[in-house]
Amino acid sequence: MRPPAFWDADAPRGSARLTRALLAPASAVYAWATARRIARTRPARAPVPVICVGNLTLGGTGKTPVARALLEIARDQGRSPAALSRGWRGRLKGPVMVDPALHTAADVGDEPLLLAATAPTVVSRDRPAGARLAAEHGADLVVMDDGHQNPTLAKDLSIVVVDGETGWGAGRVFPAGPLREPVAAGLARADAVVVMVRNKDDRPDYAGLGLAELDIPVLTAWLEPAAPPPDGPLVAFAGIGRPQKFYDALAAQGGELAEVASFPDHHAFTRREIDALTDLAEAHDARLITTEKDWVRLPADARERVAAWPVRAVFAEPARIADLVADARPRVDAAREQG
């Protein structure tokens, strides 16, 4: 779905305020149910340390690029990391090791296919079972993409990712706003926060996000393209949380956008839609381009018609995030040492 306008903090006050007020009881129930589930679940411990990269809002904040960056950091440190994902909208419940040569986005979801390009990846709706499978396949560290509100698997390092531009939206819990839980409750379980900004020159509003007084690390990161956009006119399309960010990034890197087309997050593209986009590109004498995440959801026979534009997460303070990854270890071991 596309986020409703009243989720935005800058939405016109009149109608947005009324809508939020009408939805407030449902939001209270949603927040209560989340808090109750977290409080009443006893997390299972994995055989190896678990780093969770999550967020407090619905929609895209950059979790998967951050998770991929952590996997690369861990590998550079000499570890054997694996990724763990629920496999949103994939038909396989798992636990299963993702094989990009065998599985499609319909099988395991789009994000696991991206993660599998960086490190061995497990899809499992049962997170503890997925972590065990990763360890059985040689992983000595699990990086879980999403799951901050999933209490079934114990986390040894919990990182919350927030979009520095949209922040917490209207600051209301779903359905009155984009929050999965109240900000204070979510940050209380976090060990670090990563604020995703537009570029290296952007300065996040820590005070406005309520992060200025936190006693945990707050880091800044942004997405950088792995290569410049193709030359010539482009018809860009995307089915991600915030497609405009993709278009803005293309334009900022010199991409010549002839037209854009947006779809809902995790959209499953049909051949008819790709044919229509191809006709649109031909009308502009342009080339089709999309995100890596969208590209893996395209029908296999359509991918040769579309360029994928890969990006990676870059940290303003790489040494700090590397130290967090290096120090990730089972909390129970730390407790024993202190005792």
How far from 79 is each of 49, 76, 98, 139, CA to CA, in Å? 11, 7, 20, 8
Look at residue 338 and tell me whether its pLDDT is greater than 70: no
- Starting at the earlier edge strand, list the strands of the sheet with 233-238: 256-262, 233-238, 287-291, 306-309
- Starting at the earlier edge strand, list the strands of the sheet with 96-97: 96-97, 121-123, 81-85, 141-145, 50-54, 157-163, 192-197, 218-225, 311-315
Residue 145's φ and ψ, nearest 5 degrees, are: -85, 110
pLDDT band at 159, cuts 50/70/90? very high
Look at residue 336 and tell me whether its pLDDT is greater than 50: no
H helix or E strand, kind and range, residue 73: helix 63-76
DSSP 215-240: SS-EEEEEEEESSPPPSSEEEEEE-S
pLDDT band at 247, cuts 50/70/90? very high
pLDDT digits (tens, 9 = 90+) for 5-59: 888 887 767 788 899 999 999 999 999 999 999 999 999 999 999 999 999 999 7
Q: Residues 86-103: what's their mean pLDDT? A: 94
Nearest of 149, 175, 125, 144 to residue 34 by alpha carbon:
149
Look at residue 262 and tell me whether its pLDDT is greater than 60: yes
Binding positions: 57-64
pLDDT band at 1, cuts 50/70/90? low
Q: Which amino acid is at 189?
A: R
**44-83 b/e (C-beta count within 10 Å ≥ 16 → b):** ebbebbbbbbbbbbbbbbbbbbbbbbbbbbbeeeebbbbb
How far from 50 is each of 61, 131, 147, 228, 247, CA to CA, in Å? 20, 8, 11, 34, 34
DSSP 77-116: TT--EEEEE--TT-S--S-EE--TTT--HHHH-HHHHHHH
Binding positions for ATP: 57-64
**Residue 339 CB contacts under 8 Å (≥ 6 apart), including other chains:** none
pLDDT band at 334, cuts 50/70/90? very low
Residues 162, 163, 166, 167: what is their CA dihedral angle, to the nearest 10 degrees?
20
pLDDT band at 120, cuts 50/70/90? very high
Q: Residues 189-211: what's their mean pLDDT? A: 92
Q: Residues 78-87: what's their mean pLDDT? A: 97
Q: Pick the most confident of 46-60, 125-139, 321-335.
A: 125-139
How many whole angstroms separate alpha carbon 39 and alpha carbon 31? 12
Token pair for residue 127? Answer: 């997170």
Q: Which amino acid is at 188?
A: A
Q: pLDDT value at position 332?
A: 59
pLDDT digits (tens, 9 = 90+) for 276-315: 999 999 999 999 999 999 999 998 889 999 999 999 999 9
